[in-house]
A and B are shown apart, each in its own frame.
Chain A
Amino acid sequence: MSTVSWITARGLFGRRRFLLLLPLPVLLVALAAISRGMGVSPSDWGPPVLIGLGLAVVLPVVALIVGTGVLGAEIDDGTVAHVLTTPLPRWQIVLPKLAVAAGVTAVTVAVPMFAAGLLADSVRLGLALAAASSVGALAYSALFVAVSLLTRRPVLLGLVYVLIWEGLLGNVITGTRVLSIQHYVIALADRIAPTNLLETTVSVPLAVVMTTLVSVGFTLLAIDRLRSFSMAGETS
Protein backbone atom coordinates (compact mmCIF):
# COMPACT_ATOMS: atom_id res chain seq x y z
CA MET A 1 0.00 0.00 0.00
CA SER A 2 1.62 3.20 -1.16
CA THR A 3 1.97 6.24 1.04
CA VAL A 4 -0.52 8.23 -1.03
CA SER A 5 -3.26 5.65 -0.59
CA TRP A 6 -2.44 5.39 3.12
CA ILE A 7 -2.75 9.18 3.54
CA THR A 8 -5.98 9.20 1.54
CA ALA A 9 -7.55 6.41 3.56
CA ARG A 10 -6.57 8.13 6.81
CA GLY A 11 -8.01 11.41 5.56
CA LEU A 12 -11.31 9.69 4.85
CA PHE A 13 -11.62 7.62 8.01
CA GLY A 14 -9.81 9.94 10.41
CA ARG A 15 -12.77 12.33 10.64
CA ARG A 16 -15.97 11.67 12.45
CA ARG A 17 -17.98 12.85 9.45
CA PHE A 18 -17.27 9.58 7.69
CA LEU A 19 -19.90 8.16 10.05
CA LEU A 20 -22.43 10.26 8.13
CA LEU A 21 -22.11 7.72 5.31
CA LEU A 22 -23.41 4.88 7.46
CA PRO A 23 -27.16 5.78 7.68
CA LEU A 24 -27.70 5.28 3.94
CA PRO A 25 -26.56 1.62 3.72
CA VAL A 26 -28.20 0.81 7.06
CA LEU A 27 -31.50 2.27 5.84
CA LEU A 28 -31.24 0.19 2.66
CA VAL A 29 -30.88 -3.08 4.58
CA ALA A 30 -33.49 -2.06 7.18
CA LEU A 31 -36.12 -1.27 4.55
CA ALA A 32 -35.44 -4.55 2.74
CA ALA A 33 -35.68 -6.49 6.02
CA ILE A 34 -38.91 -4.75 7.10
CA SER A 35 -40.55 -5.38 3.73
CA ARG A 36 -39.49 -9.01 3.77
CA GLY A 37 -40.62 -9.41 7.38
CA MET A 38 -44.06 -7.91 6.71
CA GLY A 39 -44.58 -10.35 3.85
CA VAL A 40 -44.77 -7.82 1.02
CA SER A 41 -44.23 -9.38 -2.38
CA PRO A 42 -40.72 -8.62 -3.74
CA SER A 43 -42.16 -7.31 -7.01
CA ASP A 44 -43.77 -4.51 -4.95
CA TRP A 45 -40.83 -3.51 -2.78
CA GLY A 46 -37.95 -4.57 -5.03
CA PRO A 47 -37.92 -1.67 -7.51
CA PRO A 48 -38.29 1.18 -4.96
CA VAL A 49 -35.65 -0.25 -2.61
CA LEU A 50 -33.12 -1.78 -5.02
CA ILE A 51 -33.30 0.87 -7.76
CA GLY A 52 -35.03 3.87 -6.16
CA LEU A 53 -32.90 3.85 -3.02
CA GLY A 54 -29.91 1.59 -3.70
CA LEU A 55 -28.78 2.38 -7.23
CA ALA A 56 -30.31 5.84 -7.65
CA VAL A 57 -29.42 7.36 -4.25
CA VAL A 58 -27.02 5.33 -2.09
CA LEU A 59 -24.48 4.46 -4.81
CA PRO A 60 -24.15 7.93 -6.42
CA VAL A 61 -24.35 9.89 -3.16
CA VAL A 62 -21.73 7.74 -1.38
CA ALA A 63 -19.53 7.84 -4.50
CA LEU A 64 -19.97 11.61 -4.68
CA ILE A 65 -19.04 12.26 -1.05
CA VAL A 66 -16.07 9.85 -1.11
CA GLY A 67 -14.92 10.62 -4.67
CA THR A 68 -14.81 14.38 -4.17
CA GLY A 69 -13.41 13.87 -0.68
CA VAL A 70 -10.21 12.04 -1.68
CA LEU A 71 -8.81 14.85 -3.80
CA GLY A 72 -11.28 17.75 -3.56
CA ALA A 73 -10.91 18.14 0.20
CA GLU A 74 -7.11 18.40 -0.11
CA ILE A 75 -7.44 20.97 -2.90
CA ASP A 76 -9.95 22.86 -0.78
CA ASP A 77 -7.68 23.28 2.25
CA GLY A 78 -4.48 23.55 0.17
CA THR A 79 -2.70 20.48 1.57
CA VAL A 80 -2.57 18.98 -1.93
CA ALA A 81 0.56 21.12 -2.39
CA HIS A 82 2.48 18.73 -0.11
CA VAL A 83 1.66 15.78 -2.36
CA LEU A 84 2.25 17.72 -5.58
CA THR A 85 5.74 18.89 -4.54
CA THR A 86 6.98 15.30 -4.15
CA PRO A 87 8.80 13.83 -7.18
CA LEU A 88 5.95 11.39 -7.83
CA PRO A 89 4.56 11.02 -11.37
CA ARG A 90 1.00 12.33 -11.43
CA TRP A 91 -0.51 8.96 -12.22
CA GLN A 92 0.96 7.61 -9.00
CA ILE A 93 -1.09 10.24 -7.16
CA VAL A 94 -4.36 9.84 -9.06
CA LEU A 95 -4.48 6.03 -9.26
CA PRO A 96 -4.03 5.27 -5.52
CA LYS A 97 -6.56 7.94 -4.63
CA LEU A 98 -9.01 6.58 -7.19
CA ALA A 99 -8.43 3.05 -5.90
CA VAL A 100 -9.18 4.11 -2.32
CA ALA A 101 -12.32 6.02 -3.39
CA ALA A 102 -13.64 3.17 -5.53
CA GLY A 103 -12.77 0.58 -2.88
CA VAL A 104 -14.44 2.44 -0.02
CA THR A 105 -17.53 3.18 -2.13
CA ALA A 106 -17.73 -0.39 -3.38
CA VAL A 107 -17.56 -1.86 0.13
CA THR A 108 -20.04 0.68 1.55
CA VAL A 109 -22.56 0.00 -1.22
CA ALA A 110 -21.97 -3.61 -2.32
CA VAL A 111 -22.49 -5.16 1.14
CA PRO A 112 -25.97 -3.69 1.74
CA MET A 113 -26.88 -4.28 -1.91
CA PHE A 114 -25.97 -7.94 -1.52
CA ALA A 115 -28.14 -8.17 1.61
CA ALA A 116 -31.06 -6.41 -0.08
CA GLY A 117 -30.76 -8.57 -3.21
CA LEU A 118 -30.62 -11.71 -1.07
CA LEU A 119 -33.77 -10.66 0.77
CA ALA A 120 -35.51 -9.76 -2.48
CA ASP A 121 -34.84 -12.82 -4.56
CA SER A 122 -31.79 -15.06 -4.27
CA VAL A 123 -28.07 -15.22 -3.57
CA ARG A 124 -27.53 -14.83 -7.29
CA LEU A 125 -29.37 -11.49 -7.42
CA GLY A 126 -27.45 -10.36 -4.34
CA LEU A 127 -24.11 -11.21 -5.93
CA ALA A 128 -25.18 -9.62 -9.22
CA LEU A 129 -26.15 -6.38 -7.47
CA ALA A 130 -22.95 -6.38 -5.43
CA ALA A 131 -20.76 -6.96 -8.51
CA ALA A 132 -22.60 -4.43 -10.65
CA SER A 133 -22.57 -1.75 -7.97
CA SER A 134 -18.81 -2.31 -7.46
CA VAL A 135 -18.29 -1.69 -11.18
CA GLY A 136 -20.57 1.35 -10.88
CA ALA A 137 -18.56 2.55 -7.88
CA LEU A 138 -15.40 2.54 -10.02
CA ALA A 139 -17.08 4.49 -12.84
CA TYR A 140 -18.68 7.04 -10.50
CA SER A 141 -15.41 7.47 -8.56
CA ALA A 142 -13.42 8.09 -11.75
CA LEU A 143 -16.03 10.65 -12.81
CA PHE A 144 -16.12 12.50 -9.48
CA VAL A 145 -12.32 12.47 -8.98
CA ALA A 146 -11.97 14.02 -12.46
CA VAL A 147 -14.72 16.54 -11.69
CA SER A 148 -12.95 17.62 -8.51
CA LEU A 149 -9.94 18.56 -10.66
CA LEU A 150 -12.01 20.35 -13.30
CA THR A 151 -13.91 22.73 -11.04
CA ARG A 152 -13.71 24.27 -7.59
CA ARG A 153 -17.30 23.26 -6.81
CA PRO A 154 -17.13 19.50 -7.53
CA VAL A 155 -19.98 18.48 -5.23
CA LEU A 156 -22.49 20.81 -6.86
CA LEU A 157 -21.45 19.78 -10.38
CA GLY A 158 -21.69 16.13 -9.30
CA LEU A 159 -25.15 16.83 -7.90
CA VAL A 160 -26.19 18.36 -11.23
CA TYR A 161 -25.23 15.06 -12.87
CA VAL A 162 -26.88 12.84 -10.24
CA LEU A 163 -30.04 14.87 -9.64
CA ILE A 164 -30.78 16.66 -12.89
CA TRP A 165 -29.24 14.40 -15.51
CA GLU A 166 -29.82 10.92 -14.04
CA GLY A 167 -32.75 11.74 -11.76
CA LEU A 168 -34.85 14.19 -13.73
CA LEU A 169 -33.90 13.80 -17.40
CA GLY A 170 -33.31 10.04 -17.19
CA ASN A 171 -36.96 9.54 -16.28
CA VAL A 172 -38.43 12.07 -18.72
CA ILE A 173 -36.27 11.63 -21.83
CA THR A 174 -35.28 7.96 -21.92
CA GLY A 175 -32.64 8.64 -24.59
CA THR A 176 -30.41 10.32 -21.99
CA ARG A 177 -30.03 6.95 -20.26
CA VAL A 178 -27.25 5.96 -22.69
CA LEU A 179 -25.08 8.46 -20.78
CA SER A 180 -26.20 7.42 -17.30
CA ILE A 181 -23.98 5.24 -15.11
CA GLN A 182 -27.02 4.26 -13.04
CA HIS A 183 -28.57 2.50 -16.04
CA TYR A 184 -25.30 0.75 -16.95
CA VAL A 185 -25.31 -0.71 -13.44
CA ILE A 186 -28.94 -1.83 -13.76
CA ALA A 187 -28.23 -3.39 -17.16
CA LEU A 188 -25.17 -5.26 -15.83
CA ALA A 189 -26.98 -6.57 -12.74
CA ASP A 190 -29.94 -7.67 -14.85
CA ARG A 191 -27.61 -9.53 -17.23
CA ILE A 192 -25.88 -11.47 -14.41
CA ALA A 193 -29.12 -12.36 -12.62
CA PRO A 194 -32.18 -11.99 -14.87
CA THR A 195 -35.26 -11.13 -12.78
CA ASN A 196 -38.32 -8.99 -13.34
CA LEU A 197 -37.19 -6.59 -10.59
CA LEU A 198 -34.62 -4.68 -12.64
CA GLU A 199 -35.62 -3.01 -15.87
CA THR A 200 -33.78 -0.68 -18.18
CA THR A 201 -33.72 0.36 -21.82
CA VAL A 202 -29.91 0.28 -22.06
CA SER A 203 -28.41 -2.78 -23.76
CA VAL A 204 -25.71 -4.85 -22.04
CA PRO A 205 -22.90 -4.41 -24.64
CA LEU A 206 -23.44 -0.64 -24.57
CA ALA A 207 -23.33 -0.68 -20.76
CA VAL A 208 -20.05 -2.65 -20.72
CA VAL A 209 -18.38 -0.45 -23.33
CA MET A 210 -19.59 2.81 -21.79
CA THR A 211 -18.64 1.81 -18.23
CA THR A 212 -15.10 0.99 -19.41
CA LEU A 213 -14.92 4.20 -21.42
CA VAL A 214 -16.13 6.31 -18.48
CA SER A 215 -13.75 4.68 -16.00
CA VAL A 216 -10.65 4.83 -18.22
CA GLY A 217 -11.46 8.15 -19.88
CA PHE A 218 -12.09 10.11 -16.69
CA THR A 219 -9.02 8.57 -15.01
CA LEU A 220 -6.82 9.72 -17.91
CA LEU A 221 -8.52 13.13 -17.81
CA ALA A 222 -7.83 13.41 -14.07
CA ILE A 223 -4.14 12.52 -14.57
CA ASP A 224 -3.90 15.06 -17.38
CA ARG A 225 -5.58 17.80 -15.36
CA LEU A 226 -3.32 17.15 -12.37
CA ARG A 227 -0.30 17.51 -14.68
CA SER A 228 -1.16 21.16 -15.38
CA PHE A 229 -2.80 21.86 -12.04
CA SER A 230 -2.49 25.35 -10.62
CA MET A 231 -3.23 26.19 -7.01
CA ALA A 232 -5.69 29.02 -6.46
CA GLY A 233 -7.16 30.72 -3.44
CA GLU A 234 -10.65 30.33 -2.02
CA THR A 235 -13.35 31.05 -4.58
CA SER A 236 -15.90 33.72 -3.80
Chain B
Amino acid sequence: MPEPTGVIHDIGYQRYTGPRLGRRHVFGALYLHGVRTTFGLGRSAKAKIFPWLVVGIVLTVAAAVTAIRAQIGEAVMTYAQFADSMSWLVIFFVAVAAPELVSRDLRSGVLPLYFSRPLPRADYPLAKLLALVTALWLLLGAPQLMMFLGAAFTADGMRGVWDELLDLLPGLLYAGLWAVVFASVGLLIASLTGKRAFAAGGIVAVFLMTTPIVGILSVLPSQTANQLAGLASPSTLVQGVGIWTLGDLLITDPDAGIPDLGSFGPVYALAAVVLVAGCVALLLARYRKVAAR
Protein backbone atom coordinates (compact mmCIF):
# COMPACT_ATOMS: atom_id res chain seq x y z
CA MET B 1 0.00 0.00 0.00
CA PRO B 2 1.53 3.31 -1.12
CA GLU B 3 2.02 6.15 1.32
CA PRO B 4 -0.78 8.75 1.19
CA THR B 5 0.40 11.65 -0.91
CA GLY B 6 -2.30 14.18 -0.18
CA VAL B 7 -1.18 17.61 0.95
CA ILE B 8 -3.24 20.31 2.59
CA HIS B 9 -2.34 23.58 0.93
CA ASP B 10 -2.68 26.85 2.77
CA ILE B 11 -4.85 28.81 0.37
CA GLY B 12 -5.15 31.80 2.65
CA TYR B 13 -8.42 31.32 4.54
CA GLN B 14 -8.40 33.67 7.50
CA ARG B 15 -10.53 34.04 10.57
CA TYR B 16 -12.36 37.30 11.01
CA THR B 17 -10.63 39.14 13.84
CA GLY B 18 -12.29 42.55 13.60
CA PRO B 19 -14.97 43.85 15.94
CA ARG B 20 -18.27 41.91 15.87
CA LEU B 21 -21.30 44.17 15.71
CA GLY B 22 -24.12 43.05 17.95
CA ARG B 23 -27.88 42.96 18.00
CA ARG B 24 -28.29 46.73 17.73
CA HIS B 25 -26.45 46.86 14.42
CA VAL B 26 -28.36 43.91 12.96
CA PHE B 27 -31.58 45.66 13.90
CA GLY B 28 -30.35 48.93 12.44
CA ALA B 29 -29.31 47.30 9.17
CA LEU B 30 -32.67 45.51 8.82
CA TYR B 31 -34.52 48.74 9.58
CA LEU B 32 -32.57 50.84 7.08
CA HIS B 33 -32.89 48.15 4.41
CA GLY B 34 -36.63 48.03 5.13
CA VAL B 35 -37.12 51.77 4.68
CA ARG B 36 -35.15 51.67 1.43
CA THR B 37 -37.21 48.67 0.23
CA THR B 38 -40.54 50.44 0.75
CA PHE B 39 -39.48 53.22 -1.63
CA GLY B 40 -37.66 50.85 -4.01
CA LEU B 41 -34.28 52.49 -3.38
CA GLY B 42 -31.35 50.32 -4.39
CA ARG B 43 -33.68 48.24 -6.56
CA SER B 44 -34.60 48.21 -10.24
CA ALA B 45 -36.70 50.94 -11.82
CA LYS B 46 -39.72 48.61 -11.88
CA ALA B 47 -39.73 48.42 -8.09
CA LYS B 48 -39.84 52.22 -7.90
CA ILE B 49 -42.93 52.75 -10.09
CA PHE B 50 -45.71 52.17 -7.57
CA PRO B 51 -44.17 53.75 -4.41
CA TRP B 52 -43.12 56.87 -6.28
CA LEU B 53 -46.48 57.09 -8.05
CA VAL B 54 -48.10 57.48 -4.62
CA VAL B 55 -45.40 59.90 -3.43
CA GLY B 56 -45.87 61.93 -6.61
CA ILE B 57 -49.64 62.17 -6.12
CA VAL B 58 -49.46 63.27 -2.47
CA LEU B 59 -46.76 65.85 -3.24
CA THR B 60 -48.82 67.17 -6.18
CA VAL B 61 -51.85 67.56 -3.93
CA ALA B 62 -49.73 69.33 -1.31
CA ALA B 63 -48.27 71.64 -3.95
CA ALA B 64 -51.76 72.46 -5.24
CA VAL B 65 -53.02 73.19 -1.70
CA THR B 66 -49.98 75.38 -1.02
CA ALA B 67 -50.40 77.28 -4.28
CA ILE B 68 -54.11 77.90 -3.70
CA ARG B 69 -53.36 79.15 -0.20
CA ALA B 70 -50.60 81.47 -1.42
CA GLN B 71 -52.82 82.94 -4.13
CA ILE B 72 -56.20 83.19 -2.38
CA GLY B 73 -54.91 83.43 1.19
CA GLU B 74 -57.38 80.84 2.40
CA ALA B 75 -56.35 77.44 3.76
CA VAL B 76 -58.04 74.63 1.78
CA MET B 77 -57.23 72.02 4.41
CA THR B 78 -55.36 71.96 7.72
CA TYR B 79 -52.28 69.82 8.23
CA ALA B 80 -54.26 67.19 10.15
CA GLN B 81 -56.96 67.02 7.46
CA PHE B 82 -54.33 66.18 4.87
CA ALA B 83 -53.84 62.67 6.26
CA ASP B 84 -57.61 62.06 6.27
CA SER B 85 -58.07 63.07 2.66
CA MET B 86 -55.20 60.82 1.53
CA SER B 87 -56.55 57.64 3.15
CA TRP B 88 -57.04 55.67 -0.12
CA LEU B 89 -53.49 56.41 -1.14
CA VAL B 90 -52.21 55.33 2.27
CA ILE B 91 -54.06 52.02 1.86
CA PHE B 92 -52.55 51.56 -1.61
CA PHE B 93 -49.06 52.39 -0.33
CA VAL B 94 -49.41 49.82 2.47
CA ALA B 95 -50.57 47.26 -0.12
CA VAL B 96 -47.43 47.98 -2.17
CA ALA B 97 -44.90 48.20 0.64
CA ALA B 98 -45.93 45.59 3.23
CA PRO B 99 -45.71 42.55 0.86
CA GLU B 100 -42.31 43.79 -0.37
CA LEU B 101 -41.09 43.90 3.22
CA VAL B 102 -42.19 40.50 4.50
CA SER B 103 -43.74 38.33 1.76
CA ARG B 104 -40.60 38.10 -0.37
CA ASP B 105 -38.55 36.74 2.53
CA LEU B 106 -41.26 34.17 3.32
CA ARG B 107 -41.50 33.05 -0.30
CA SER B 108 -37.79 32.69 -0.95
CA GLY B 109 -37.23 30.93 2.37
CA VAL B 110 -34.37 33.08 3.62
CA LEU B 111 -35.64 33.48 7.17
CA PRO B 112 -33.33 30.74 8.57
CA LEU B 113 -30.41 32.79 7.23
CA TYR B 114 -31.61 35.85 9.13
CA PHE B 115 -32.18 33.92 12.33
CA SER B 116 -28.73 32.32 12.21
CA ARG B 117 -27.34 35.79 13.05
CA PRO B 118 -27.35 37.18 16.59
CA LEU B 119 -30.90 38.36 15.96
CA PRO B 120 -33.67 37.59 18.45
CA ARG B 121 -36.82 36.39 16.78
CA ALA B 122 -38.87 39.43 17.82
CA ASP B 123 -36.37 41.85 16.28
CA TYR B 124 -37.01 40.87 12.67
CA PRO B 125 -40.75 41.70 12.60
CA LEU B 126 -40.25 44.76 14.81
CA ALA B 127 -37.56 46.17 12.50
CA LYS B 128 -39.83 45.62 9.49
CA LEU B 129 -42.78 47.21 11.33
CA LEU B 130 -40.69 50.22 12.33
CA ALA B 131 -39.51 50.59 8.73
CA LEU B 132 -43.10 50.59 7.43
CA VAL B 133 -44.19 53.07 10.12
CA THR B 134 -41.31 55.37 9.15
CA ALA B 135 -42.13 55.11 5.45
CA LEU B 136 -45.82 55.90 6.02
CA TRP B 137 -44.96 58.79 8.31
CA LEU B 138 -42.60 60.22 5.71
CA LEU B 139 -45.30 59.77 3.07
CA LEU B 140 -47.79 61.81 5.11
CA GLY B 141 -45.31 64.12 6.83
CA ALA B 142 -43.27 65.35 3.86
CA PRO B 143 -46.27 66.95 2.08
CA GLN B 144 -47.28 68.62 5.37
CA LEU B 145 -43.77 70.04 5.70
CA MET B 146 -44.08 71.33 2.14
CA MET B 147 -47.41 73.00 2.99
CA PHE B 148 -45.79 74.48 6.11
CA LEU B 149 -42.88 75.95 4.14
CA GLY B 150 -45.30 77.48 1.66
CA ALA B 151 -47.38 78.96 4.47
CA ALA B 152 -44.33 80.14 6.43
CA PHE B 153 -42.96 82.17 3.55
CA THR B 154 -46.31 83.86 2.93
CA ALA B 155 -47.01 84.47 6.65
CA ASP B 156 -46.47 87.95 8.06
CA GLY B 157 -43.62 88.02 10.60
CA MET B 158 -42.29 85.45 13.04
CA ARG B 159 -45.60 85.44 14.89
CA GLY B 160 -47.39 83.94 11.89
CA VAL B 161 -44.66 81.36 11.35
CA TRP B 162 -44.90 80.32 15.01
CA ASP B 163 -48.68 79.88 14.72
CA GLU B 164 -48.19 77.75 11.63
CA LEU B 165 -45.64 75.62 13.47
CA LEU B 166 -48.10 75.05 16.31
CA ASP B 167 -50.58 73.82 13.69
CA LEU B 168 -48.02 71.62 11.97
CA LEU B 169 -46.79 69.68 15.02
CA PRO B 170 -50.19 68.09 15.90
CA GLY B 171 -50.59 67.33 12.20
CA LEU B 172 -47.31 65.41 12.21
CA LEU B 173 -48.30 63.54 15.38
CA TYR B 174 -51.62 62.64 13.77
CA ALA B 175 -49.74 61.38 10.68
CA GLY B 176 -47.70 59.24 13.09
CA LEU B 177 -50.91 57.71 14.48
CA TRP B 178 -52.07 56.90 10.92
CA ALA B 179 -48.70 55.34 10.22
CA VAL B 180 -48.66 53.15 13.35
CA VAL B 181 -52.22 51.82 12.94
CA PHE B 182 -52.04 51.15 9.19
CA ALA B 183 -48.54 49.67 9.30
CA SER B 184 -49.33 47.20 12.08
CA VAL B 185 -52.56 45.96 10.46
CA GLY B 186 -51.02 45.81 6.97
CA LEU B 187 -47.83 44.06 8.00
CA LEU B 188 -49.78 41.43 9.96
CA ILE B 189 -51.87 40.55 6.87
CA ALA B 190 -48.82 40.54 4.59
CA SER B 191 -46.91 38.21 6.94
CA LEU B 192 -49.61 35.54 6.50
CA THR B 193 -48.77 34.76 2.88
CA GLY B 194 -45.64 34.47 0.79
CA LYS B 195 -47.38 35.59 -2.39
CA ARG B 196 -47.10 39.33 -2.88
CA ALA B 197 -50.19 39.42 -5.10
CA PHE B 198 -52.39 37.78 -2.48
CA ALA B 199 -50.95 39.91 0.30
CA ALA B 200 -51.73 43.12 -1.61
CA GLY B 201 -55.28 41.96 -2.38
CA GLY B 202 -55.85 40.90 1.21
CA ILE B 203 -54.68 44.21 2.66
CA VAL B 204 -56.94 46.22 0.36
CA ALA B 205 -59.90 43.89 0.99
CA VAL B 206 -59.57 44.19 4.79
CA PHE B 207 -59.25 47.97 4.79
CA LEU B 208 -62.02 48.57 2.26
CA MET B 209 -64.58 46.07 3.53
CA THR B 210 -64.56 47.60 7.01
CA THR B 211 -65.60 51.07 5.80
CA PRO B 212 -69.21 50.16 4.84
CA ILE B 213 -69.70 48.59 8.30
CA VAL B 214 -69.19 52.09 9.71
CA GLY B 215 -71.74 53.40 7.22
CA ILE B 216 -74.31 50.86 8.43
CA LEU B 217 -73.62 51.30 12.14
CA SER B 218 -73.97 55.06 11.82
CA VAL B 219 -77.53 54.83 10.45
CA LEU B 220 -78.79 52.30 13.02
CA PRO B 221 -81.59 53.67 15.23
CA SER B 222 -79.39 53.61 18.36
CA GLN B 223 -77.39 56.68 19.31
CA THR B 224 -74.73 54.64 21.13
CA ALA B 225 -74.18 52.49 18.02
CA ASN B 226 -73.88 55.63 15.90
CA GLN B 227 -71.29 57.17 18.18
CA LEU B 228 -69.28 53.94 18.40
CA ALA B 229 -69.58 53.23 14.64
CA GLY B 230 -66.11 54.53 13.83
CA LEU B 231 -64.50 51.71 15.84
CA ALA B 232 -65.32 49.23 13.05
CA SER B 233 -62.76 50.52 10.54
CA PRO B 234 -59.10 51.50 11.00
CA SER B 235 -59.39 54.80 9.14
CA THR B 236 -62.46 56.03 11.03
CA LEU B 237 -60.90 54.77 14.27
CA VAL B 238 -57.86 56.96 13.67
CA GLN B 239 -60.13 59.81 12.67
CA GLY B 240 -62.10 59.39 15.89
CA VAL B 241 -58.95 59.62 17.99
CA GLY B 242 -58.01 62.71 15.99
CA ILE B 243 -61.40 64.36 16.56
CA TRP B 244 -61.15 63.65 20.28
CA THR B 245 -57.59 64.95 20.74
CA LEU B 246 -57.20 67.62 18.06
CA GLY B 247 -60.77 68.93 17.82
CA ASP B 248 -60.66 72.23 15.93
CA LEU B 249 -57.59 71.31 13.91
CA LEU B 250 -59.53 68.49 12.24
CA ILE B 251 -63.01 70.07 12.14
CA THR B 252 -62.95 73.37 10.30
CA ASP B 253 -66.43 73.16 8.84
CA PRO B 254 -69.02 72.00 11.41
CA ASP B 255 -71.56 71.15 8.67
CA ALA B 256 -69.23 68.83 6.78
CA GLY B 257 -70.71 65.64 8.19
CA ILE B 258 -68.02 64.98 10.79
CA PRO B 259 -69.02 61.94 12.88
CA ASP B 260 -70.29 62.72 16.36
CA LEU B 261 -68.41 60.78 19.02
CA GLY B 262 -70.51 61.82 22.02
CA SER B 263 -68.49 61.12 25.15
CA PHE B 264 -66.75 58.07 23.66
CA GLY B 265 -63.49 59.83 22.69
CA PRO B 266 -61.36 57.89 25.22
CA VAL B 267 -62.91 54.62 23.98
CA TYR B 268 -61.53 55.39 20.50
CA ALA B 269 -58.05 56.06 21.89
CA LEU B 270 -58.18 52.85 23.92
CA ALA B 271 -59.42 50.87 20.88
CA ALA B 272 -56.54 52.23 18.78
CA VAL B 273 -54.01 51.14 21.42
CA VAL B 274 -55.64 47.70 21.71
CA LEU B 275 -55.72 47.28 17.91
CA VAL B 276 -52.02 48.14 17.52
CA ALA B 277 -51.00 46.00 20.52
CA GLY B 278 -53.09 43.08 19.24
CA CYS B 279 -51.63 43.26 15.75
CA VAL B 280 -48.06 43.46 17.06
CA ALA B 281 -48.69 40.51 19.40
CA LEU B 282 -50.12 38.42 16.54
CA LEU B 283 -47.20 39.45 14.32
CA LEU B 284 -44.71 38.28 16.95
CA ALA B 285 -46.65 35.03 17.41
CA ARG B 286 -46.63 34.51 13.64
CA TYR B 287 -42.84 34.90 13.51
CA ARG B 288 -42.35 32.55 16.44
CA LYS B 289 -44.11 29.92 14.32
CA VAL B 290 -42.34 30.77 11.06
CA ALA B 291 -38.92 30.90 12.69
CA ALA B 292 -39.42 27.52 14.31
CA ARG B 293 -39.88 25.85 10.93
Interface residues of A (CB under 8 A from B): 17, 20, 23-24, 27, 31, 34-35, 38-40, 44-45, 48-49, 52-53, 56-58, 61, 64-65, 68-69, 72-73, 76, 152-156, 159-160, 162-164, 167-168, 235-236
Contacts and interface: CB of A to CB of B under 8 A. Distances in A.
B46 interface: yes
Q: Size band of the B side of the interface?
A: 20 to 34
Given A40-B220, A45-B219, A155-B201, A160 B209 contact: no
Given A236-B46, A236-B47, A48 B96 contact: no
Contact of A52 (B88, B201, B211, B221): B211
A68 B204 CA distance: 15
B95 interface: yes
Interface stretch (B21-29, B157-165, B192-200, B256-264): B192-200
B255 to A, nearest CB: 19
B92 A163 contact: yes
Contact of B216 (A49, A58, A159, A168): A49
Contacts of A44: 219
B216 to A, nearest CB: 5
A53 B209 contact: yes
B20 interface: no
B212 interface: yes
A61 B88 contact: no
Contacts of A38: 220-221
Contacts of B198: 17, 20, 65
B106 to A, nearest CB: 14
Q: Which of B89, B95, B212 has the most CB of A within 10 A?
A: B212
Contacts of A152: 46
Q: Chain A: interface secondary structure?
A: helix
B212 A159 contact: no
A79 to B, nearest CB: 14
A153 B50 contact: yes
Given A27-B213, A69-B197, A155-B196, 19 more contacts: A17-B198, A23-B205, A24-B205, A31-B213, A38-B220, A39-B221, A52-B215, A53-B212, A57-B205, A57-B209, A57-B211, A61-B204, A61-B205, A72-B197, A76-B197, A152-B46, A155-B201, A162-B204, A163-B92
B285 interface: no
Contacts of A167: 88
A162 B91 CA distance: 12
B9 interface: no
Interface in B40-65: 43-44, 46-47, 50, 53, 57
Nearest to A148: B197
15 contacts: A20-B198, A38-B220, A39-B221, A49-B212, A57-B205, A57-B208, A61-B205, A73-B197, A154-B197, A155-B201, A156-B96, A159-B95, A235-B44, A236-B44, A236-B46
B197 A160 contact: no
B92 A160 contact: yes
Given A156-B95, A236-B44, A24 B88 contact: no
Contacts of A162: 204
B197 A68 contact: yes
B150 interface: no
